């Protein structure tokens, strides 16, 4: 094309970014890279390797080592050794290292951006303007947390050695999201990049080494899912942080169950993009471009489900199609393109298959009729409209440049459609009416909500999902806690074996009628309910004297309790003041009957009168603590370096199953239930199995304290059996389980179905009288999910 012709047509010509330096860097590694272990590149002990390809051309880019068991062992050993001295460094020293890494990224920004574009296939415009600057920002931000760690996280220590597994869609940015907080807070890392895109991680290793990062603090082992699995299964790793598909997340959850490893999962999504009839339509159309065509739609939080108000659907779709026609798909290094290549042929085939399926299910297909590059893996911007909410393209993550669209008539219907998904990562909503936008934002089941915007990220603002989009947050203060553990829990000892129930001695007179009369039922939906199986169990004193009976709950009782808890939504929407007041009432009513409750503990456990009284006093005080926190455990407003602010709002998780520890029959229950209900959750509680009578006595306290029906449900019986039903229940959002190691492992494993949040003690006993270990923010943090709502603010 001649210059005159360009002037004639006013179309864009190619504006390629030079790749000389990137190709030279690759040329220096033609014999392969090896792994980065203990500060140096080493050949793979597995002696296996694989090729990595350039998505835009299909050509081989480099040879990478396949990490085997020995490589992973070496990397973990190097990390273990380095972590000790790294954590001992003053925060300021670590801050300087993080700062040096940030500066290094900035100094080599263009090289990283070009390598990333070549390796991943995404446009240079994105790697240059987003991936790399945001990665640098993460290192700056976390340099700051390292600097103030000793004051801001004084009651925590680093987790230790962290295994990090990242996907291919944002290779460098995901590395930064994982590595920056881990290192800043004193951990050492073994990172496995995605097999499609390992190059910028290896380049980063070179840069980190040149920046003087101590050997062993950062290790990189390349390889595929098998290498990832070796890392996950390694017994000397303290934590796994994973970003990738929900399927693999689920496997990792099961694999780490019972290992004591801490886990965060950032998984898939099918995020709604809601356009109301009062939206700025052109703004929203541009939003769709950023939501689903950014990074070829290979974005976990892509706004892939368009929900459009019926009244504007025609005009919106018309303008969207017009805009699609102006998108440019081309070579990643062309500075004028909007979309580059799909990561790999296998992914392209998957996208094509899903789109065909959508069409066969009745969706209308629209693809921009634009020039497509030849060769490589490219897919055009695509819109499937008239999609049924239940169809596969509306429910499955396509992970490609494919928007599916549906219409709605009312805001309520929009919310219903938006939340009609097993995921809960992000949501974008468009309306010029602040009341409507913020009302809807509060009701969306998503970890991140963007108002009149989409795909905004910042190191200071937590990112992460609900439901099957995983758990844990990256970024900001919440993200820091994922790499720390509480000092108060260090040195906890294995819980002594639960005393076997004393055999009831059938001496005459033990089974008096008055005892039997007080047989406790279950407590479900605010009412005492007979157990479904109509069985009871006798509770005996340490000396084998029958002191009461409780119902033997079964899976049906748990299911009824979950239904009751699910229905008690008003509690989650109640004001914090209201919840606080009720917690104070519970405390006051317990206080009025303190002697009776203390006597019951003594009768069940044989505890001295003084220690039983101390337990009751601590329970009353703990209820006051959470009443106090109810209206003080609040959100914050982040001020990211982008337009607007982000409201970080702690939200109740929902319905939580609670398996109380065997010891401390009343205090254990109060310590777990009070933080949950203070923050608006509804609970199904399985009380101490050997000593359940404090819980059944507690019904009358709850009944007289104005606690709405269904907020606390209590099912007595076998802890392990009832926990099994709770952990596998798809309408339970979290399970807190305190008891045996077997209980922890089982709960974690069965939780993988709907990826519920778990909080378990791995059989370690908590001293419930110790306020530092047993109350406060440690528990409140686990009782909520933080939702980050980005809203326009100022200019
Ligand atoms: P993936 O989840 O298989 O891979 C992500 C990372 O996990 C890679 O580093 C991989 O090597 C590793 N991995 C795979 N199996 C593992 C195992 N058993 N144990 C430990 N690590 C393991 O994702 P993949 O196969 O690359 O893409 C498949 C689909 O996953 C995509 O079509 C997309 O729907 C989804 N996906 C979602 C992402 C997200 O950010 N939500 C990112 C990448 C993919």
- Per the annotation, the verdict on 482 as an active-site residue is no
Distance in Å, CA 649 to ligand 1 centroid:
29
Q: What share of the chain is helix, strand, coil (3-state, %, to 5)?
A: 45, 20, 35
Domain ranges of the chain: 19-266+479-487, 272-458, 553-791
Distance between CA 787 and CA 766 in Å, rounded?
30
User: Helices in 527-663 by DSSP H: which ranges?
Assistant: 555-567, 569-573, 576-592, 594-605, 609-630
Identify the pLDDT of residue 403: 98
295 CB less than 6 Å from ligand 1?
A: no
CA distances, 54 to each of 58, 61, 102, 432, 795 (Å): 5, 6, 27, 43, 41
132 lines ligand 1 (CB under 6 A): no
**Chain segment 184-206, per-residue pLDDT in tens:** 999 999 999 999 999 999 999 99
Give the pLDDT confidence score for residue 518 in this predicted structure. 63
The Cβ of residue 592 has, within 10 Å, a number of other Cβ atoms equal to 11
Asked whether 165 lines ligand 1 (CB < 6 A), one says yes
Residue 392, both tokens: 């596969």
Task: Please tell me if the CB atom of residue 397 comes closer than 6 angstroms to any atom of ligand 1.
Answer: yes
Could you report the per-residue pLDDT of 70-121, keeping only the tens digit for each?
999 999 999 999 999 999 999 999 999 999 999 999 999 999 999 999 999 9
Which ligand 1 atom is at minimum distance from the Cα of 223?
11
> In angstroms, rounded to a whole number, what is the distance separating the alpha carbons of residues 177 and 474?
7
Distance from the CA of 190 to the center of ligand 1, in angstroms?
Answer: 17
DSSP string of 283-304, one letter each residue: HHHHHHIIIIIGGGG--TT-EE
Stretches in the chain below the pLDDT threshold 70: 1, 498-518
The number of the ligand 1 atom at minimal distance from the alpha carbon of 251 is 18
Identify the residue whose tokens are 């990390």: 79
Q: Which pLDDT does position 247 carry in this prediction?
A: 97
Across the chain, mean pLDDT equals 96
- Ligand 1, atom 15, lies closest to the CA of 225
**Ligand 1 and 300: CB distance under 6 A:** yes
- The whole-angstrom separation of Cα 164 and Cα 242 is 6
Write the residue with the smallest CA distance to atom 12 of ligand 1.
225
Task: Classify residue 476 as left (phi > 0), alpha (psi -120 to 50) or beta.
Answer: left
**Would you say 387 and 363 are in contact if contact means Cβ atoms under 8 Å apart?**
yes
Q: Which of 248, 249, 447 to mutate to test the pocket of ligand 1 (most atoms within 8 A of CB)?
A: 248
DSSP 8-state code for residue 468: G
Structurally, at CATH architecture level, domain 272-458 sits in: 3-Layer(aba) Sandwich (3.40)
Within 8 A by CB and 6+ apart from 257, the residues are: 745, 746, 748, 749, 751, 752
Q: Is 191 touching ligand 1 by the criterion CB < 6 Å?
A: no
The predicted pLDDT at position 535 comes to 94
Q: Ligand 1: which of 244, 250, 447, 470 to mutate, most ligand atoms within 8 Å of CB? A: 244
Are the C-beta atoms of residues 659 and 719 closer than 8 Å to each other? Answer: yes
Q: 693-703 and 576-592 are packed helices; what angle lies between their axes, rounded to 10 degrees?
A: 120
Point out the catalytic residue in the list 116, 195, 266, 482.
266
d(CA 66, CA 392): 35
What is the pLDDT, as a whole number, of residue 663?
A: 96
Close Cβ partners of 479 (under 8 Å, ≥ 6 residues apart): 181, 462, 463, 473
Closest CA to 634 of 681, 673, 679: 679
**What does the alpha-carbon distance between residue 542 and residue 602 come to, in Å, rounded to a whole number?**
10
Q: Are 372 and 329 in contact (CB under 8 A)?
A: yes
Question: Does ligand 1 come within 6 angstroms of the Cβ of 201?
Answer: no
Predicted pLDDT of residue 424 = 98
The number of residues making up the chain comes to 795
Does the beta carbon of 233 lie inside 6 Å of ligand 1? Answer: no
Residue 424 makes CB contacts below 8 A (sequence gap 6+) with 269, 445, 446, 447, 465, 466, 467, 468, 469
Name residue, tokens 């099918």. Answer: 270
| CB distance 483 to 159 below 8 Å | yes
Q: Dihedral angle at the C-alpha atoms of 568, 571, 574, 577, nearest 10 degrees?
A: 160
CA-nearest residue, atom 30 of ligand 1: 245
- Contact call for residues 418 and 393 (beta carbons, < 8 A): no
| Predicted pLDDT of residue 500 | 67
CATH of domain 553-791: 3.40.605.10
pLDDT, one tens digit per residue, over 667-686 is: 999 999 999 999 999 999 99
Residues contacting 595, CB < 8 A, separation 6+: none
Q: Which of 177, 195, 225 gets mutated to test ligand 1 (max ligand atoms within 8 A of its CB)?
A: 225
CATH class of the region 19-266+479-487 = alpha beta
| Topology alike, domains 272-458 and 553-791 | no
C-alpha–C-alpha distance, residues 36 and 221, integer Å: 6
**637 and 646 Cβ atoms separated by less than 8 Å:** yes
Show Cβ contacts of residue 491 under 8 Å, excluding neighbours closer than 6 positions. Answer: none
- Pairing assessment for the beta strands 484-486 and 156-158 based on DSSP bridges: antiparallel
Task: Copy the structure tokens of residue 536.
Answer: 């009871």
CA of 403 to the centre of ligand 1 (A): 21
DSSP state of 499: P
Token readout for 135 is 């990665």
Place of tokens 């990242």: 166
How large is the ipTM? 0.96
| Residue 63: its H or E element | strand 60-65
Residues 6+ apart with CB under 8 A from 577: 630, 631
Alpha-carbon distance of 12 to 752, in angstroms, equals: 49
CB 474 within 8 A of CB 482: yes
Query: Rounded CA gap, 324 and 322, in Å?
Result: 5
Give the pLDDT of residue 513: 44
3-state secondary structure 681-726: CEEEEECCCCCCHHHHHHHHHHHCCCCCCCCEEECCCCHHHHHHHH
């Amino acid at each position: 094309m001649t210059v005159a012709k360009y002037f004639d047509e006013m179309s864009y010509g190619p504006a390629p970014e030079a790749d000389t330096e990137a190709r030279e860097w690759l040329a220096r590694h033609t014999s392969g890279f090896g792994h980065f272990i203990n500060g140096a590149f080493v050949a793979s002990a597995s002696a296996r390797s694989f090729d990595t390809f350039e998505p835009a051309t299909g050509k081989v880019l480099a040879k990478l080592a396949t990490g085997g068991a020995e490589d992973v062992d070496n990397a973990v050993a190097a990390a273990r050794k380095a972590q000790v001295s790294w954590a001992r460094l003053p925060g300021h020293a670590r801050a300087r290292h993080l700062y040096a890494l940030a500066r290094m990224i900035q100094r080599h920004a263009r090289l990283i951006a070009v390598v990333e574009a070549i390796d991943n296939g995404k446009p240079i415009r994105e790697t240059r303007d987003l991936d790399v600057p945001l990665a640098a920002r993460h290192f700056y931000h976390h340099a700051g947390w390292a600097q103030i760690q000793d004051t801001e996280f004084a009651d925590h220590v680093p987790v230790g050695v962290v295994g990090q597994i990242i996907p291919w869609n944002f290779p460098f940015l995901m590395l930064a999201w994982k590595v920056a907080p881990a290192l800043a807070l004193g951990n050492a890392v073994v990172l496995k990049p995605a097999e499609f895109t390992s190059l910028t991680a290896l380049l980063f290793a070179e840069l980190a080494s040149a920046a003087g990062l101590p050997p062993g603090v950062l290790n990189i082992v390349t390889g595929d899912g098998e290498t990832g699995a070796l890392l996950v299964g390694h017994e000397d790793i303290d934590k796994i942080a994973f970003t990738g598909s929900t399927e693999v997340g689920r496997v990792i959850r099961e694999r780490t169950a019972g290992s004591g490893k801490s886990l965060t999962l950032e998984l898939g999504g099918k995020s709604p993009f809601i356009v109301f009839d009062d939206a700025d339509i052109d703004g929203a159309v541009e939003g769709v471009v950023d939501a689903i065509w950014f990074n070829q739609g290979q974005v976990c939080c892509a706004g892939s489900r368009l929900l459009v108000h019926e009244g504007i659907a025609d005009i919106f779709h018309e303008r969207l199609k017009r805009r699609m026609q102006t998108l440019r798909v081309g070579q990643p290094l062309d500075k004028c393109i909007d979309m580059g290549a799909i990561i790999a042929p296998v992914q392209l085939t998957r996208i094509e298959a899903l789109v065909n399926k959508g069409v066969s299910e009745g969706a209308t297909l629209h693809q921009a009729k634009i020039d497509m590059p030849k060769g490589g893996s490219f897919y055009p911007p695509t819109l499937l409209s008239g999609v049924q909410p239940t169809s596969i393209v509306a429910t499955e993550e396509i992970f490609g440049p494919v928007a599916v669209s549906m219409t709605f008539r009312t805001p309520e219907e929009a919310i219903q459609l938006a939340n009609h998904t097993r995921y809960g990562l992000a949501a974008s909503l468009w309306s010029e009416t602040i009341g409507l936008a913020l009302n809807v934002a509060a009701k969306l089941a998503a970890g991140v909500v963007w108002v009149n915007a989409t795909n905004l990220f910042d190191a200071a603002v937590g990112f992460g999902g609900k439901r099957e989009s995983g758990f844990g947050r990256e970024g900001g203060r919440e993200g820091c806690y994922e790499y720390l553990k509480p000092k108060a829990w260090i040195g906890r000892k294995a819980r002594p074996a639960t005393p076997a129930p004393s055999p009831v001695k059938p001496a005459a007179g033990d089974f008096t009628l008055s005892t039997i009369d007080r047989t406790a039922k279950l407590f479900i939906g605010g009412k005492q309910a007979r157990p479904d199986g109509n069985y009871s169990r006798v509770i005996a004193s340490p000396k084998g004297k029958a002191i009461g009976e409780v119902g033997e709950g079964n899976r049906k009782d748990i299911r009824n309790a979950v239904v009751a808890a699910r229905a008690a939504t008003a509690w989650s929407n109640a004001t914090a003041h209201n919840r606080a007041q009720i917690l104070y009432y519970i405390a006051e009513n317990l206080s009025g009957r303190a002697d009776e409750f203390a006597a019951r503990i003594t009768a069940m456990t044989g505890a001295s009168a003084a220690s039983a009284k101390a337990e009751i006093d601590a329970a009353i005080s703990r209820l006051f603590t959470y009443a106090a926190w109810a209206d003080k455990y609040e959100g914050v407003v982040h001020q990211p370096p982008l337009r607007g602010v982000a409201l970080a709002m702690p939200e109740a998780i929902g319905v939580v199953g609670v398996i109380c520890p065997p010891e401390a029959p009343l205090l254990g229950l109060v310590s777990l239930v009070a933080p949950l209900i203070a923050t608006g959750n509804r609970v199904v509680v399985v009380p101490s199995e050997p000593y359940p009578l404090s819980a059944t006595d507690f019904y009358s306290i709850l009944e007289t304290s104005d606690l709405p029906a269904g907020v606390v449900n209590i099912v007595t019986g076998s802890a392990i059996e009832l926990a099994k039903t709770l952990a596998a229940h798809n309408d339970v959002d979290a399970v807190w389980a305190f008891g045996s190691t077997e209980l922890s492992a089982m709960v974690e494993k069965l939780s993988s179905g709907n990826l519920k949040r778990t909080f378990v003690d791995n059989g370690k006993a908590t001293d419930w009288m110790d306020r530092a270990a047993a109350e406060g923010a440690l528990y409140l943090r686990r009782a909520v999910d933080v939702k980050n709502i980005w809203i326009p603010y100022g200019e």
